[in-house]
A and B are shown apart, each in its own frame.
Chain A
């Protein structure tokens, strides 16, 4: 749930990158960090293993500017994707205002994507968040690889609820900001209208 501070006229929103391990969640957030002006962002905090796999989360605060007289700050979090870190994922979903589901578009990862998407729904419910009402967008990542499914097929397999979806090559930055903009818009509308 967003924090609305009337005293300092600030809205804080939490956006979580979710998805299977090695899908590109951390790559997304690292690209955002590199591209955004230093005065509009905080430090990138990464709690990772020695081999750079996310152990707990990555965290990046962004100050975007004003909407309807309120300063808006977005807190971007990633979750660890590996199956056995489920307890950590649940903790990070606590209080989320919006989700970016980063799918790995390679054919052999389809089952992992489906599994992770189901896991997202279960974990949202465990945090008392209604999966049908939280703003969510999908990102089909690694579209530069040869063995990927096209976006229509991925939509058919993963996106039965017709959420907005974006193709991406996060390592080159393609699609990273389109996805972030889309979820930011949905979250800000939802928060501003008091939903």
Chain B
């Protein structure tokens, strides 16, 4: 999957708007393979890489359970904590929206705004499949050397 500057900026705007409207702490767009695509809000002490991997795996396990029950409609996961809670929503087929929020957030508002955010993201993310840039347009002859240098300290 390829992401460019323009799309990244738009995703960040959409996520920031969700934080603003819902008084959530932070939110993340993650792909179903566990890669973090974008984050907004106060991520502070949260390890965003781990969060992306665990959310995607957790959601994948839940989706597998849903399939076992012949129900493909598990689209939301919600976990309530003492001070902070986490809400994970499917965005299209390939992405997840993860929102972390506290007591300031009103659940009804969160649900309504999350739905709007998902619609906006789905429209935007359809464009990603149209990005056809290769990681390196002309692979330089130094590729092997660079990879060797990169790995030499391992």
Show the binding face of A for B, using Cβ within 8 Å: 1-8, 11-12, 14, 36, 42-43, 45, 56-57, 59, 61, 64-70, 72-73, 75, 87-88, 90-92, 94-95, 177, 180-181, 184-185, 188-189, 191-194
Min CB gap B121→A, angstroms: 16
13 A–B pairs (Cβ distance < 8 Å), ordered by A = A11-B135, A14-B35, A36-B154, A42-B47, A43-B47, A45-B53, A45-B54, A59-B53, A87-B64, A92-B57, A184-B150, A184-B151, A189-B147
- When the two chains form their complex, are residues B5 and A6 in contact, meaning their CB atoms are under 8 A apart? yes
Show the binding face of B for A, using Cβ within 8 Å: 1-5, 7-9, 31-35, 37, 47, 49-50, 53-54, 57, 60-61, 64, 131, 133-136, 139-140, 142-144, 146-148, 150-151, 154
Provide the bound-state CA to CA distance between A71 and B134, in Å. Answer: 15
Provide the bound-state CA to CA distance between A90 and B67, in Å. Answer: 14
Q: Which residues of A contact B54 (CB under 8 A)?
A: 45, 59
Min CB gap B13→A, angstroms: 13
Contact for B143 among A7, A95, A192, CB less than 8 A: A192
Provide the bound-state CA to CA distance between A8 and B9, in Å. Answer: 11
- When the two chains form their complex, are residues B143 and A67 in contact, meaning their CB atoms are under 8 A apart? yes
Tell me the number of A-to-B contacts counted with CB atoms below 8 Å. 125
Considering residues B7, B32, B146, which has the most beta carbons from chain A within 10 angstroms of its beta carbon? B146
Sorted nearest first, the 4 A-B pairs with minimum C-beta distance are: A95-B33, A194-B134, A7-B8, A3-B35
Q: Which residues of B contact A45 (CB under 8 A)?
A: 50, 53-54
Q: What does DSSP make chain A's interface, helix, strand, loop or mixed?
A: mixed
- When the two chains form their complex, are residues B151 and A181 in contact, meaning their CB atoms are under 8 A apart? yes
- When the two chains form their complex, are residues A4 and B32 in contact, meaning their CB atoms are under 8 A apart? no
- When the two chains form their complex, are residues B151 and A5 in contact, meaning their CB atoms are under 8 A apart? no
Provide the bound-state CA to CA distance between A92 and B54, in Å. Answer: 11
Provide the bound-state CA to CA distance between A11 and B61, in Å. Answer: 26
Given that A64-B150, A91-B64, A95-B32 are known contacts, is A7 also in contact with B135, CB under 8 Å in the complex?
Answer: no
Provide the bound-state CA to CA distance between A2 and B2, in Å. Answer: 9
Min CB gap A125→B, angstroms: 17
Min CB gap A177→B, angstroms: 5
Min CB gap B135→A, angstroms: 5
- Residue in chain B with minimal CB distance to A14: B33
Q: Which residues of A contact B133 (CB under 8 A)?
A: 4, 6
Given that A68-B139, A91-B60, A181-B151 are known contacts, is A3 also in contact with B49, CB under 8 Å in the complex?
Answer: no
Provide the bound-state CA to CA distance between A188 and B9, in Å. Answer: 27
